[in-house]
Amino acid sequence: MKADLINPFLAAAFDILERMGKTRAARGQLSLASSPVRGDEVNVAVGVTGDLLGQVIFCMAERTATQLASNMLMGLPVIALDELAKSAVSEFSNMVTGNAVGELGNRDIICSVTPPAIFVGKEVTVSAKDLSFLVIPLQTELGDVKIYIALREANG
Amino acid sequence: MKRIRTTQLVPGMRLAEDIFLPNTTVTLIAAGTELSIEMIRRIKSLGIESVGIDETKGDSKDETERRLIPILARNHERMITAVEKLIISSAEQPLEEEAVRSLAGDLLSQVEMDSSLLLNLTHIKAYDNYLFSHSVNVAILTLLVGEVLGYSKKELHELGTAALLHDLGMLSVPQEIWQKQGALSPAEQVEIRKHPVYGEELLRASGFSEEVIRVAREHHERYDGSGYPDGKREKEISFKARILAVTDVYDACISFRPYRDQMTPQQALDQLLSEKEKYDPVVLNAFISVMAIYPIGSFVVLNSGEVAKVIRVSKNSPFRPEVRIYFDREGNLLDQPPRINLAEEKNHTLYIDKTLPAEEHKRLAAVIDGAGPGLP
């Protein structure tokens, strides 16, 4: 996967974390992971279709997820990862992917985003057919968020 | 059909003619297709300058709502009048518990029918009649919260009855005080703060259940102990009264009050959350589920740059309401504002990027009213 395809996701993650998640973020070392990968306590998968095909997966600890949800919910106290908190974390993932896809669209790479799916539990593994994941580790004030990206060109 | 420049296209518009790949006869997008954000990007990236858009008015959902809203609005009006009659007559004779219960039952069946449209109605405010319309609107909001919290039908009945009567004690406070323009004097404040106790007395005299009586007495108590009349806190306050604390404040905030400016739904939510220690977190959580993150009537900016108004919310997708896109990214009012359900699978490339501040809100509402399409 080319770096210029990754940069929009990175920029989107920083932007959405700051504006919606109310936290600064720092990027760790990028790496590759072969499919399947083991998830974290809370995992959200967002599909991408169009000129690019694949998945973007957001993984974090439950404590990070509830804190992120609270910040997205205007500071509402979030005690557990209930339905409202889940929709907040899902929407966060949707926003990052939608934002990145918008930026790709400005470069004539036209994609759409499919609804996020959230999986809770340590035993979750995620796979992407025939693809390896690019892993973006982010350190935030709420805890670590890892983004796994597996995208290929539709006509490639 | 109308020709629209590609820069003015917004998702949800319907194509009136096929779009061909430039210089070919290959159809890229067929006539009748509802444009998505990706299709619009594709059209722009192909350098196409304008396309034909189908102008036939509104989709079937709009038609249904146009029919339903006046009916619901009349019911709502009738409900307010009924509550007014009941409450006024309570000055001469004890309130009939059965009459109030049957009103609560009517409200409950309306909530079950189309809660989203009903929620819309609670947000249409008139200048007069505050006490009675407030009672009905608080009852609707309270029932919606009770539903989310999983109350049984029987419990909802009790809750609705209590909500309709929570401010009954205001009748014992001189009208000059609760309709006063401007700030209350300390003596007047003391008098206003007696209304929960007056309410308790009136309801007890009419033989209402202990639960209904407690809600009237405790609806101004606050979770952190800062309320009145008894300064109760947390579990000392009945759960139903903790619900009323939230719905009562919210409705008061979005209503016209003589002593302060009317707030937008977003401002009212912000207000509640800025004092979140005063409310039970479980109730706040349920209330946000009902109102959604971007409440009805909010003006929001989508990630595509268009400005839309939230027209329907759903507790299943609090971040993804139904919106109507009124302005293109340059801020031009659209002739034919499309309606988009952000929760639908095909619309997930869009998201709400931010809400506009309250002043903008009023300005945009005026621009839309001025154009007068009268859409729901």
* pLDDT attached to residue B67: 82
d(CA B310, CA B241): 30
Q: What is the mean pLDDT of chain B?
A: 89
Partnered with residue B53 across adjacent β-strands are B2, B15
Q: Sign of the C-alpha dihedral, residues B162, B163, B167, B171?
A: negative
What kind and span of H or E run contains A65?
helix A62-72
Percent of chain B with pLDDT over 90: 53
Q: What mean pLDDT do residues B136-155 have?
A: 95
> Which of chain B's residues have a Cβ under 8 Å away from the Cβ of A73?
288, 293
- Distance, in angstroms, between B77 CA and closest chain A CA? 33
Distance from CA of A12 to the nearest CA of B (A): 12
User: Which position has the higher pLDDT, B351 or B257?
Assistant: B351
b/e burial code for range B292-314 (CB count within 10 A of at least 16 → b): bbbbbbbbbbbbbebbbbbbbbb
Domains defined along chain A, listed by start: 3-153 (3.40.1550.10)
Nearest CA in chain B to A110: B38
Q: Which of B45, B303, B348 sits opposite A114 (nearest CB)?
A: B348
- With bands split at pLDDT 50, 70 and 90, how would you rate the model's confidence at B244? very high
Tally Cβ neighbours within 10 Å of residue A148: 22
CA A144 – CA A137 distance, rounded (Å)? 7
The residue ranking higher by pLDDT, B176 or A50, is A50
Higher pLDDT, B93 or B263: B263
C-alpha B341 chain-centroid distance = 17
Per-residue pLDDT at B374 exceeds 80: no
Q: Does B305 reach chain A within 8 Å, measured CB to CB?
A: no
Residue B376: per-residue pLDDT: 53
pLDDT for B123 equals: 86
pLDDT tens-digit series, residues B296-307? 989 999 999 999
- Average pLDDT estimate for B251-265: 86
**B230 vs chain A: nearest CA distance in angstroms?**
26
Higher per-residue pLDDT: A88 or B89: A88
Closest CA to B117 of B59, B166, B78, B62: B62
Under CATH, what is the fold of the domain B60-291? Hypothetical protein af1432 (1.10.3210)
Contact A76 B273 (CB under 8 A): yes
Closest to B281 (Cβ–Cβ): which among A50, A77, A111? Answer: A77
Helix (H) or strand (E) holding B309: strand B307-312
Answer whether B111 touches A (CB < 8 Å): no
What are the backbone angles phi and psi of residue A92, rounded to the nearest 5°? -55, -50
Burial class for A37, CB neighbours closer than 10 Å (0-12, 13-18, 19+): buried
Residues of chain A in contact with residue B270, where contact means CB-CB under 8 angstroms, are 74
B276: contact with A, CB 8 A cutoff: yes
Give, rounded to a whole angstrom, the gap between the first and last alpha carbons of chain A: 11
Of A73, A95, A115, which has the smallest distance from its Cβ to B293's Cβ?
Answer: A73
Chain B residue whose CA is closest to A112: B349
More confident residue, B124 or B350: B350
Q: Running DSSP on this structure, what letter comes out for residue B354?
A: E
pLDDT digits (tens, 9 = 90+) for B279-290: 999 999 999 999
Smallest CA–CA separation between A34 and chain B, in Å?
Answer: 27
Contact A113 B320 (CB under 8 A): no
Instruction: Find, in chain B, the residue whose alpha carbon is nearest to that of A94.
Output: B348
Integer Cα distance of B255 and B249 in angstroms: 10
Fold of B2-53: Molybdopterin biosynthesis moea protein, domain 2 (3.90.105)
* Pick among B6, B29, B38 to test the A interface (most A CBs inside 10 A): B38
Q: Is the Cβ of B351 closer than 8 Å to some Cβ of chain A?
A: yes
Report the pLDDT value the prediction gives residue B120, as an integer from 0 to 100: 85
Are B177 and B209 in contact by the 8 Å Cβ rule? The answer is no
Beta-carbon separation of A74 and B37 below 8 A:
no
Mean pLDDT on A68-86 = 93
Confidence band of B127 (pLDDT split at 50, 70, 90): low
Give residue-wise pLDDT tens across range B91-112: 777 888 888 888 899 889 888 8
CB contact under 8 A, A115 and B345: yes
Give the lowest-confidence range in A78-87, A122-131, B240-249, B344-353. Answer: A122-131
B75: closest CA of chain A, how far (Å): 32
Q: Which of residues 240-269 of B touch A (CB under 8 A)?
A: 269
- How far off is chain B from A119, nearest CA to CA, in Å? 17
B349 contacts in chain A (CB < 8 Å): 98, 101-102, 111-113
The C-alpha atoms of residue B337 and residue B151 are separated, in whole angstroms, by 39
B217-236: pLDDT as tens digits: 999 999 999 999 999 999 99
Please state the rounded mean pLDDT for residues B30-53: 90
Q: Of A76, A95, A112, which has the smallest distance from its Cβ to B284's Cβ?
A: A76
Q: What pLDDT does residue B373 have?
A: 53
Per-residue pLDDT band at A1 (split at 50, 70, 90): low
Q: Give the ranges where chain B is alpha helix by DSSP (H).
A: 37-45, 60-89, 97-113, 115-122, 130-148, 153-164, 175-178, 186-192, 195-205, 210-218, 239-254, 265-274, 281-291, 358-371
pLDDT digits (tens, 9 = 90+) for B46-65: 889 999 998 775 567 788 88
Chain B residue at shortest CA distance from A15? B353
* A50: closest chain B residue by CA: B38
B265 in Cβ contact with B295 (< 8 Å): yes
Q: What is the ipTM of this complex?
A: 0.94
B345 touches chain A (CB under 8 A): yes
Q: What percent of chain A has pLDDT over 90?
A: 78
